[in-house]
């Protein structure tokens, strides 16, 4: 009996020893894993701290870049506005000077008519072209000077030029348009193209001309062009 108890006691002692050894080994392994994990977590935290610092620096750089771009955009817009204002002022001065010198028709408007006729009216060439044309009406009772007259097979272009168009001048031309065929009877079977030309025409003047079926010709960017081509579709 005593021998059996001793054997069981020895067995339990052996099992307990193995358990202690195994537990100690596992605990050591766990401690090593925890230590390694702790080191990795520390490295990760350090990396995240560096990343946050880099992101903070990046945000600061982006903020500075946006501020610089905002300043640059403002400068560009100011330069564009100044350039447009300078161009309009220059066009106006150019027109006034050319008008004083009597060359606004020959030097500025006349060379543009063929391009306008080609682009918008598909007129390849004119059968007749004249500047400062002195002509009597059909009855011979009145004489009038026409700044530019250009005639093709199907069109008659009558261009009135003004360096600084006044409302009274514009209205006189509008009133004259229905009488054009009195000076050019052969054009009764053609399309009459009345054009008021100037280096600069304000938007309200262009609208007024459009309402009265008159084409507006003025500087657009760096060339003279029609400012109301929509009349072609009316």
Q: Between the CA atoms of 122, 132, 207 and 234, what dihedral angle is there, to the nearest 10 degrees?
A: -30
Domain match, 142 and 173 both:
yes
Same domain membership, residue 97 and residue 25: yes
pLDDT one digit per residue (tens) for the chain, 234 residues: 667 656 665 666 665 566 666 666 666 776 677 777 777 777 777 778 887 878 888 788 888 878 888 888 878 777 777 777 777 777 666 656 655 545 666 678 888 999 999 999 999 999 999 999 999 999 989 999 999 999 999 999 999 988 778 899 999 999 999 999 999 998 999 999 999 998 889 999 999 999 999 999 998 877 889 999 999 987
- Report the pLDDT value the prediction gives residue 2, as an integer from 0 to 100: 64
Beta bridge partners of 158: 149, 194
The residue range of the domain holding 49 is 1-101
For CA atoms 194, 147, 216, 201, give the dihedral sign. Answer: negative
> Could you tell me if 9 and 116 lie in one domain?
no
One domain for residues 229 and 128: yes
Residues pairing with 144 in the sheet: 135
Domain count, the chain: 2
Indicate whether 91 and 109 sit together in one domain.
no
One domain, residues 10 and 111: no
Q: Are residues 116 and 196 in the same domain?
A: yes
Are 35 and 138 members of one domain? no
Q: What is the pLDDT of residue 1?
A: 62
* Last residue in a domain, options 101, 119, 146: 101
Residue 170 and residue 81 in one domain: no
The reported pLDDT for the residue numbered 19 is 60
Claim to verify: residue 122 and residue 220 sit in the same structural domain: yes
Whether residue 40 is found in the same domain as residue 108: no
Of 80, 101, 122, which residue sits at a domain end?
Answer: 101
């Amino acid at each position: 009996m005593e021998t059996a108890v001793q054997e069981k006691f020895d067995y339990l002692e052996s099992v307990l020893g193995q358990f202690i050894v195994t537990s100690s080994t596992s605990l050591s392994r766990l401690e090593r894993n925890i230590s390694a994990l702790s080191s990795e977590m520390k490295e990760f935290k350090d990396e995240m701290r560096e990343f946050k610092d880099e992101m903070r620096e990046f945000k600061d750089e982006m903020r500075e870049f946006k501020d610089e771009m905002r300043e640059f955009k403002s400068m560009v817009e100011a330069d564009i506005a100044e350039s447009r204002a300078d161009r309009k002022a220059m066009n106006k001065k150019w027109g006034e000077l050319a008008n004083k010198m009597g060359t606004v028709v020959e030097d500025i408007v006349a060379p543009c008519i063929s391009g306008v006729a080609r682009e918008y009216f598909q007129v390849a060439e004119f059968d007749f072209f004249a500047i400062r044309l002195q002509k009597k009406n059909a009855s011979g009772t009145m004489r009038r000077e026409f700044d530019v007259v250009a005639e093709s097979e199907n069109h008659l272009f009558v261009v009135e030029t003004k360096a600084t168009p006044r409302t009274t001048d514009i209205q006189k031309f509008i009133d004259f348009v229905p009488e054009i065929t009195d000076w050019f009877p052969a054009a009764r079977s053609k399309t009459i193209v009345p054009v008021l030309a100037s280096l600069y025409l304000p938007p309200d003047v262009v609208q007024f001309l459009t309402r009265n079926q008159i084409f507006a010709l003025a500087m657009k960017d760096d060339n003279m062009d029609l400012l109301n081509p929509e009349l072609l579709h009316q």
